[in-house]
Structure 1
Amino acid sequence: MNIEKIRQPFIKIFPGDFSGNTMQRNTPKVLFATISPVGFIGQQLIAFNKPLSEEIGLGKFEEKDLDFLVGNHLPENIQTYATAYAGHQFGNWAGQLGDGRAIVAGEIINHSGKRNEIQWKGAGATPYSRHADGRAVLRSSVREYLMSEAMFHLGVPTTRALSLAFTGENIVRDIMYNGNPQEEKGAVVVRTAESFLRFGHFELLSAQREYETLQKLADFTIENYFPEIISEGIEKYKDFFKNICTRTADLMVEWFRIGFVHGVMNTDNMSILGLTIDYGPYSMMDEYELNFTPNTTDLPGRRYAFGNQGQIAQWNLWQLANALHPLIKDEKFLEDTLNQYGTYFWNAHDTMLCKKFGFNNLQDNDEDFFTNWQALMQELHFDYTLFFNQLEKLEAESNLKSLFENTSYSILDEEKMRKLEDFVKKYTARLHLNTISKEDSLALIRSANPKFTLRNYLLYECIEEITLGKTEMFDKLTKALENPYEEFYPEFSVKRPRTYDDTTGCSMLSCSS
């Protein structure tokens, strides 16, 4: 790989702490601390993303590159670092946070001029580790590698994964925080994104009243990642905030489209570029449930449940608005923009649902149709992905019980079948309002509804196999996730088996990693 091409413009612009000290501590009035990966013995490559490496300009993998992928070998031209940020966690101000397990190598610019930041995740402690060890376990590392790539191929804005490797270490983790710690295999992921800047980076500087550095950070971000913004002065920062609101709303709509639940939408886990970042206790939704959260830490309040994600994103944008106020200085503009977020989001959300159902435009009564559909999905316990896959096969002569019985997590008795039949009649009538052909309607359905989603139970089985040194399922999942709108492996397109309903890591997860 061409690791000598990695550069570091960020640390040349912003103040930082060059001590290289891994001691967990506050670092007031600085935005990063220089730190080196801890280094490992006994590392072993599990996966390397060849297409991504070529795309971002690192080129082909050679055996000697494994040392770089686990942080053992650093080019002389780079100084690695971790960044500080703040955030609201579960609705409460948490103060200074930061890259507790992420260490930045720098960025590389590819042949088309696109920037890509490169980070190790799990390569050792930083000043922001909050008394943790900065390592990552295999379990969470496999989940991040596979899911970030799955999201990319689904067409959802996301960070991506370049490599996954064993570190050769065993790490002690209490997976459910219940006093039962166990040893797990350690791993490192190398992940990439145009930028990992978060809402929390701006919140930190604003909270510290470092307004000059806040402005520098906003200017840096706009110049490097928002080329569409050409205004000047305060208008530039207004356009910046409006753009972030739009990107964030669009991301939430994509999460709803595919049934993704992030699990921990704290402001420090929100990308300033509208990317899906920080794959922790996430889940693809099996049974459709607006109140579903995969995160045990989010119980019983379910703040970050599936159906709440759009409004939580708006709440997080309010916090970003407060942080950017010293630059914008216009409360009415911020309030109006945040109110417009709701209108934009719901219009985009309902337009997305139209495509999932094969409607070519949004009609006045569609809101009622969607509300009735949501009630049906929850009452009949339908699987989100499988329901739409079967809806695509619906014909006038279809036997509805045969078509849909394997998509429900309950028994479709006579009463439930009557409700399904009533819905199908309304759906058929709504299809007749289309102004496109049946073939074009089916094309909309197929483009909006994946055949394959990376369910938690599949990840659980994959992690169990990799722990034993087997990679067959990992390879199959990789092929499936790279082609999510096709069905390569029918055995993956089934409901979550009941045997996994109460298995840790299949339906519910913690933040342990």
Structure 2
Amino acid sequence: MPRHYVVPSLITWLMLLVCQSGCCLLDSITAASNFSLVPNYINTSNLHQDYCERKRKLPNFVGWRLSTEKLTATLPIDNIQENYVREVQNSIFSVVYPTPLKSRVLLVAVSKEVLEDILDLDFSVSETEEFLHLVSGTKILLESLPLAHRYGGHQFGSWAGQLGDGRAHLIGVYTNRFGDRWELQLKGSGRTPYSRNGDGRAVLHSSVREFLGSEAMHFLGIPTSRAASLVVSDDDVWRDRFYNGNIKKERGAIVLRIAKSWFRVGSLEILAFSGELELLRTLLDLVISEHFPSINVNDSNRYLIFFSEVVSETAHLIALWMSVGFAHGVCNTDNFSLLSITIDYGPFGFMDSYDPDFVPNTSDDERRYKIGNQANVGMFNLNKLFQALNPLLDIRQKQLASQILEGYPEQYYKHFTELFKAKLGLLGDSEDDGYLIAFLLKLMEDTKADFTMTFRQLSEISQDQLKELSIPQEFWALQDVAKHKFFANWVAMYLLRLKRNTGDSYSERSRRMIGINPRYVLRNWMAESAVQKAERNDFSEVRLLQQVLQHPFQMQTVAERAGYAQRPPAWAKEIKVSCSS
């Protein structure tokens, strides 16, 4: 392929992809050999390991304590106790209890890892009535005061005013044997002062997706909230899922999800917008002291340093999303965590065929949150965070914060390049690496090749097979790319670049690539199949997917039998997901 043909179009295309689109995979792989599947926000230090092993998991809730005391002692609480929709002022939380489900409740799924490794509960606890009462919102532990969080946000680019936890209840904070604090939140547990016109419920369809989606992301090594349990009831919940006037009856469900913190960009925006600057300062100082231990809370530059860390980690997070073809679907500021973890799983989607214009959310008429625009949206949201911090910054700090924000695209581009180099098994640096990555992505886009399996099959195919352009039938995604008239040119460039991997071998490269290119992701058709069975109280596929997605990089017989690594079925293209849940 003549070099002059590719450089102008593809390099321009790559830069657009990075700054306007986004297509990435980074920081936890800066060196492929050091890649870790464990998100860096979970404490797995060996110093705690012996203590962890010595302390038995609790067989029941005796001695197991939840509390919101620190939050309520530090932050002001809404002085109105009644649960009705209203504008809330001068407070961070409202006290509000979950609304119990009226009909029978069935346990759909439980995360053994979350229960045992984070919440210190033996898995057998999940079989008790006490557990079912807790995760369905029927009972609250005595020492904990359930809270709904007040926040605002920019939705689809426009200021939406007060939003808040309209169907979620923070039922307590748990401090585990590692000393880590985790906030437990029920989603779908009834109305709050922030419900607006909603009923405070979530339905089975979206709840299955949230449970599986957050757990899948964790095992892919991407910072995320976790899901502890999922229950479903026979309560009727009415939804116009696609906003077309076709209202249907669905079943109510509740997810118990956990995170180190649920504070988001919108948590600060609402305070700045309302002029509650002392409260803004109080909340920021709490967030910094609790979740940014490297920042001195007495440092006059602490908000500037905080902003710099959030900018850096947000660039990292979105790059990681792109590395696995994940589109969040609703990247509003109220869905962007201050801890740069993935939260609020709604109309998300993992991309099948590579397409920078992929939009998982059918409610997104303007295609604002297409996968290729996520990096750009990250910049928009960080700018809104900057505006929220502005009242607390002096002139010099504002100038520095502006410079930090301007550096976001470069950080994202760096993450993008390093991650895709790792996906391709490249070691060291070459000036042509960006070109090589862009070239492949363009071939994939033109041939509509499968994103996940193209990289996975590049991890498994031999160099001789590539060199001879002899693509075995089982490498169906690579066969699609190979139909492109310039595939042979890319292969020649790729093999030449691999020769620069000093001291590297095929087996070592394949091992590295297999360790970062998943074979299984939660495709929409897989989630939809599980949901359809769950609607009939057959939870087998939900649990099968949960099991498979815990080991996304390992070939599994049961997953192969289910077709999870095969070409998506034709009906997958007809699946629609919206904001309604």
TM (normalized to structure 2)?
Answer: 0.84
Is residue 6 of structure 1 aligned with residue 73 of structure 2? no
Selected match of 1:462 from 530, 533, 552: 530
Within-5 A mapping of 1:43-442: 43-60=105-122, 61=125, 62-230=128-296, 232-299=298-365, 301-329=366-394, 330-398=397-465, 399-402=469-472, 406-407=476-477, 416-438=483-505, 439-442=507-510
The one-letter amino acid paired with 2:476 is N
1:417: how far off? 4.1
Selected match of 2:548 from 480, 485, 496: 480
1:428: how far off? 1.0
Q: Deviations over 1:359-413 (max 9, x none)?
A: 01232121222221121110011100110111112324425454587227x9779
The one-letter amino acid paired with 2:530 is C
User: How far, CA to CA, are the matches of 1:232 and 1:360 in structure 2?
Assistant: 42
Q: Deviations over 1:253-307 (max 9, x none)?
A: 11011111000100000000010000000001100011111111222x2211111
Structure 1 residues 412 and 332: CA distance shift in structure 2, 3 A: closer
User: How far, CA to CA, are the matches of 1:26 and 1:278 in structure 2?
Assistant: 22
The one-letter amino acid paired with 1:501 is K
User: How far, CA to CA, are the matches of 2:371 and 2:223 in structure 1?
Assistant: 18
1:436: how far off? 3.9
SS at match of 2:444: helix
The one-letter amino acid paired with 1:471 is F
User: How far, CA to CA, are the matches of 1:252 and 1:183 in structure 2?
Assistant: 35
Q: Deviations over 1:435-483 (max 9, x none)?
A: 2412332232112211110101000000001111112212211111011
Give the number of aligned pairs. 505
User: How far, CA to CA, are the matches of 1:454 and 1:465 in structure 2?
Assistant: 16
Contact 1:480–1:487, Cα closer than 8 Å, also in 2? no
User: How far, CA to CA, are the matches of 2:220 and 2:463 in structure 1?
Assistant: 30
The one-letter amino acid paired with 1:7 is S
Structure 1 residues 400 and 332: CA distance shift in structure 2, 3 A: farther
The one-letter amino acid paired with 1:354 is K
Contact 2:228–2:256, Cα closer than 8 Å, also in 1? yes
SS at match of 2:163: strand
Structure 2 unaligned runs (5+)? 1-59
Structure 1 residues 78 and 350: CA distance shift in structure 2, 3 A: same
Contact 1:257–1:448, Cα closer than 8 Å, also in 2? no
Percentage of pairs with the same residue: 34
User: How far, CA to CA, are the matches of 1:20 and 1:311 in structure 2?
Assistant: 41
User: How far, CA to CA, are the matches of 2:353 and 2:243 in structure 1?
Assistant: 26
Selected match of 2:93 from 32, 42, 67: 32
1:119: how far off? 0.5
1:249: how far off? 1.1
The one-letter amino acid paired with 1:258 is V
User: How far, CA to CA, are the matches of 2:148 and 2:273 in structure 1?
Assistant: 19
Contact 1:160–1:193, Cα closer than 8 Å, also in 2? yes
SS at match of 1:87: strand
The ranges of structure 1 where at least 4 consecutive aligned residues each deviate by more than 3 angstroms after the TM superposition are 1-4, 399-405, 410-413
User: How far, CA to CA, are the matches of 1:134 and 1:286 in structure 2?
Assistant: 32
Is residue 494 of structure 1 aligned with residue 559 of structure 2? no
Q: CA RMSD, aligned part only?
A: 1.7
User: How far, CA to CA, are the matches of 1:172 and 1:87 in structure 2?
Assistant: 26
Contact 1:376–1:420, Cα closer than 8 Å, also in 2? yes
User: How far, CA to CA, are the matches of 1:179 and 1:241 in structure 2?
Assistant: 43
SS at match of 2:363: helix
Match of residue 52 from structure 2: none
1:58: how far off? 4.5
